[in-house]
Amino acid sequence: MARYNRRGQRITEDHERSMWRYDEHAWSTAVELAQLLEEEARDAGVSLASLRRAFESYASEKLYAYERENYAEIAGFIQKTPSQWGGALRRIFKGAEPAQKLWFIVIAIIACVRARELISLRDDFRMALAPGRGYRVTTAEMYAFGQQTTDIFCSGFSWPSDVFQSAGIFGLYDGEDESNEESE
């Protein structure tokens, strides 16, 4: 049932509000992580092109297993501020190979992109995710919501090129280097 303030204006309930600012935050976190990945790769002497090739050749099943095994650490990491990321990475990967840290950051970027997609999906289905509508309509919409959620998580792992492009990071393809940034 709708509520109104003293001036007769309808009050928008929390579940009816758009989460566009959360969407923007998820995207900006992904972009900042891409910048961190570029720095960490450079420090490890790894080109982004070779990292991307390795990522794209890796079996999705292994990436799913890695993500499933480490989702709590990934979630904990992406909720930290950028100034806390360095310390968190040192704690998580103390004594580990640099490649493990790079893979972790790539999966964290993908996690932010997925979170953004979920936020958008939540906005599309915000009325279905709260009580108050008909049972049949809600059941059908929850089914559609579930299908689209599955699509987000089961579509495989693809390199988040759009995040790197948004960050202004080049060198993701063979023969491409930082000088391309100036020509674009």
Is residue 168 one of the residues assigned to a domain? yes
Q: Decide if pLDDT at 25 tops 90.
A: yes
Picking from 180, 164, 149, 151, the residue whose alpha carbon sits closest to that of residue 55 is: 164
Total domains in the fold of the chain: 1
| Rg of the chain over all Cα atoms, to the nearest angstrom | 20
Alpha-carbon distance 153 to 171, whole Å?
27
pLDDT digit string, tens, across residues 129-184 = 888 889 999 999 999 999 999 999 888 789 999 999 999 997 676 555 444 444 44
Residue-wise pLDDT for 99-125, tens only, equals: 999 999 999 999 999 999 999 999 999
Alpha carbons 22 and 153: distance in angstroms, whole number: 19
Mean pLDDT of the chain: 89
Q: Please give the pLDDT value at position 7.
A: 87
pLDDT of residue 18: 82
Domain-located, residue 4: no
Q: How high is the pLDDT of residue 183?
A: 41
Instruction: Tell me what the mean pLDDT of segment 67-76 comes to.
Output: 96
Pure H helices in the chain: 20-44, 48-57, 60-78, 82-92, 98-124, 135-154, 161-167, 179-183
Provide the 8-state DSSP code for 13: P
Residue 9 maps to a domain: no
Q: Which domain holds residue 138?
A: 20-183
Confirm whether 64 is domain-assigned.
yes
In this prediction the pTM is 0.85
Instruction: Provide the pLDDT for residue 154.
Output: 86
**Per-residue burial over 99-118, b = 16 or more CB atoms within 10 Å of its CB, e = otherwise:** eebbbbbbbbbbbbbbbbbb
Point out the least confidently predicted range of 51-55, 92-96, 146-150, 152-156: 152-156
In a domain, residue 89? The reply is: yes
Please give the pLDDT value at position 170: 77
